[in-house]
């Protein structure tokens, strides 16, 4: 049920790092408890359907189940989600919007491949490996936001070099390969850029020191970022006085991608300041040869919106791409902006039912939390039921050790990060909500034929 591929101990492994195994256990235990007390269910006159949904990470499972008719006739839908920020016994509750809408954003870039003029010049090989804590695209502030950091480097390096060394034409930096990430919604923990620096007259040590300076600046800006610089001087350096440059008509594709990415989230936040919006890329790929920027590249990520219209966001993105193409003649772009899941909105009456169940688990169990910018396709269930429902977070932290975010490997490995006592709390909350819903139905708050 939605195990995730994640790097653990230097190897790619599959792990439940978003709690899907715990969710399955909670629902199963709640169902077993209810099934073992058929008389109690009969007293409240309510039917129950247990739903074990696959493919939540791909944002496909819920809609497919709705289309298959598995939610037909359901009046209310209830769900729990693990929250590693809350301690065992605590439940995070929001009335109204609980989770933001989530969009998939893919941008294809193209243009004539970049080459170089046939002027002799010293040519250095350049490669930089970037590393930093990865995580979910809903919380880039808890990661190094690696693709943004890499984009900042590739977009500004030429300006840095010419600004410190001399006029354009004496030094040229261009990247032929940019690789990071595998999934749209997971910020990578490693990435690599490769390229060439062609220099006339300028000596290698000066360029190398500037590269180190720039990377140190980025390391200070992006928390947790580390890097390994591989800058090899030309084995047979030339000493020409002529220009170093690209032939007319070519497009420096990786430079263009970096320019688009480096401040996109800031620009969207400023434009839609009345709502909430988070834009992060989880996968970037362009080029395959350090000696030239090839004619195709792709960025893939997510946009998470609350109180922001999708069409207005799309118009803004297209405007930014138009401006980019004006700066980079010959550049071609294609925008794909698709809503994956709508907003999860908790129905007030359904939250009351959940609160009744939670109250029996101890004083202060219910905790008011902020709306999450993470999307969840449970929204499709809520939109298909007659009276909506509710989605509540269940605390899983033991109260000891470090707290982790969702989609971080320790969540499935550290007993303090996911305390199994939380499974019983979640199961009791779900079973209690069923009984509370039935009691409400028998008092004519809802039709007596309610099924949840």
Domains of the chain in start order, with CATH, are 40-100+343-408+415-440 (3.40.630.10), 102-341 (3.30.70.360)
pLDDT in tens, 333-351: 999 999 999 999 999 999 9
Residue range 75-116, pLDDT digits in tens: 999 999 999 989 999 999 999 999 999 999 999 999 876 555
pLDDT band with cut points at 50, 70 and 90 for residue 244: very low
Number of other CB atoms surrounding residue 188 within 10 Å: 26
* Sheet containing 296-306: order of strands: 226-232, 122-131, 190-199, 171-180, 276-286, 296-306, 101-110, 332-341
pLDDT, residue 6, reads 64
Mean per-residue pLDDT for 117-144? 85
| Separation CA 437–CA 427 (nearest Å) | 15
Q: Looking at residues 354-376, what average pLDDT do you find? A: 92
Of the candidates 245, 262, 264, 287, the one whose C-alpha atom is nearest the C-alpha of residue 111 is 287
Please give the Cα distance from 13 to 34 (Å, whole number). 36
Written as six digits, the tokens of 438 are 């039935």
**129-153 mean pLDDT:** 94
pLDDT reading at 246 higher than 70:
no
Tokens 């910018």, located at residue: 373
416 pLDDT band (50/70/90 cuts)?
A: low
Q: The tokens 């009276």 sit on which residue? A: 387
State the DSSP H helix or E strand holding residue 100, giving kind and residue range, or none if neither. Answer: none
412 pLDDT band (50/70/90 cuts)? low
- The predicted model gives 176-184 an average pLDDT of 93
**Is residue 447 pLDDT above 50, yes or no?**
no
Percentage with pLDDT > 70 across the chain: 83
Segment (H or E) for 210: helix 204-221
Asked whether 225 and 132 are in contact (CB, 8 A), the reply is yes
Higher pLDDT, 354 or 116: 354
What are the E-state strand segments in 271-388? 276-286, 296-306, 332-341, 344-346, 366-368
**Statement: residue 269 has pLDDT above 80:** yes
With a cut of 90, say whether residue 67 has pLDDT above it: yes
pLDDT value at residue 36: 93
Report the pLDDT value the prediction gives residue 163, as an integer from 0 to 100. 84
Closest to 111 measured CA to CA, from 245, 253, 319, 248: 253
Residue 360: closest CA among 416, 292, 432, 414: 432
Is residue 430 over pLDDT 90? yes
Q: Where are the beta strands (DSSP E) in 38-170?
A: 77-87, 91-93, 96-99, 101-110, 122-131, 135-136
In terms of Cβ atoms closer than 10 Å to its own Cβ (0-12, 13-18, 19+), residue 118 is exposed
pTM of the model: 0.82
pLDDT of 248 over the 60 cut: no
At 298, is the pLDDT very low, low, confident or very high (cuts 50, 70, 90)? very high
Compare 1 and 309 and report the one with higher pLDDT. 309
| Residue 238 pLDDT > 70 | no
Question: Phi, psi at residue 159, to the nearest 5°?
Answer: -60, -40
pLDDT of 363 strictly over 90: no
pLDDT for the residue numbered 449: 32
CB 387 within 8 A of CB 347: yes
Cα(362)–Cα(383) distance, rounded to whole angstroms? 31
Residue 215 and residue 237: Cα distance in Å, rounded? 25
What is the rounded average pLDDT for all residues in the chain? 86
Distances (CA, A) of 164 to 6, 157, 214: 41, 11, 12
Q: Which of 341, 344, 350, 348 is nearest to 78 (CA)?
A: 350
Q: How does pLDDT run across 3-44, given as a tens digit for each residue? A: 667 666 666 677 766 778 899 999 999 999 999 988 888 888
pLDDT at 240 over 60: no
């Amino acid at each position: 049920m939605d195990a995730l591929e994640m790097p653990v101990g230097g190897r790619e492994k599959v792990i439940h790092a978003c709690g899907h195994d715990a969710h399955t256990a909670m629902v199963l235990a709640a169902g077993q408890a209810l099934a073992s007390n058929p008389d109690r269910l009969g007293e409240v006159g309510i039917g129950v359907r247990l739903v074990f949904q696959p493919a939540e990470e791909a944002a496909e499972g819920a809609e497919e189940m709705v289309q298959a008719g598995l939610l037909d006739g359901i009046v209310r839908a209830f769900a729990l989600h693990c929250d590693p920020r809350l301690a065992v016994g605590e439940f995070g509750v929001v009335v109204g919007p609980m989770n933001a809408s989530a969009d998939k954003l893919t941008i294809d870039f193209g243009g004539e491949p970049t080459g170089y003029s046939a002027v002799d010049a010293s040519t250095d090989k350049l490669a930089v490996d970037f590393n930093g804590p990865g995580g979910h695209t809903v919380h880039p502030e808890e990661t190094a936001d690696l693709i943004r950091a890499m984009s900042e480097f590739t977009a500004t390096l030429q300006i840095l070099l010419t600004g410190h060394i001399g006029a354009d034409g004496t030094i040229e930096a261009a990247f032929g390969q940019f690789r990071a990430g595998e999934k749209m919604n997971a910020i990578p923990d490693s990435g690599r850029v490769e390229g060439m620096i062609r220099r006339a007259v300028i000596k290698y040590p000066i360029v190398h020191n500037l590269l180190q300076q720039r990377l140190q600046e980025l390391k200070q800006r992006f928390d947790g970022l580390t890097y390994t610089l591989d800058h090899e001087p030309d084995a047979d350096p030339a000493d020409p006085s002529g220009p170093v440059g690209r032939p007319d008509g070519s497009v420096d594709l990786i430079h263009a991608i970096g320019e688009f990415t480096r401040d996109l989230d800031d620009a969207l936040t400023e434009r839609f300041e009345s709502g909430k919006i988070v834009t992060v890329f989880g996968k970037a790929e362009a080029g395959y040869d350090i000696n030239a920027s090839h004619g195709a590249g792709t960025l893939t990520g997510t946009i998470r919106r609350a109180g922001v219209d999708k069409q207005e966001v799309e118009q803004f993105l297209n405007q930014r791409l138009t401006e980019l193409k004006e700066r980079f003649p010959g550049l071609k772009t294609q925008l794909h902006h698709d809503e994956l899941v709508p907003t999860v909105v908790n129905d007030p009456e359904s939250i009351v039912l959940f609160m009744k169940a939670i109250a029996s688990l101890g004083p202060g169990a219910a905790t008011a939390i902020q709306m999450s910018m993470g999307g969840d396709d449970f929204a499709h269930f809520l939109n298909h039921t007659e009276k909506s429902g509710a989605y509540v977070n269940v605390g899983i932290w033991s109260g000891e050790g470090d707290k982790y975010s969702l989609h971080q490997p320790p969540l499935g490995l550290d007993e303090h990060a996911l305390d199994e006592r939380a499974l019983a709390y979640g199961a009791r909350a779900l079973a209690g909500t069923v009984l509370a819903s039935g009691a409400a139905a028998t008092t004519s708050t809802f039709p007596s034929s309610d099924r949840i």
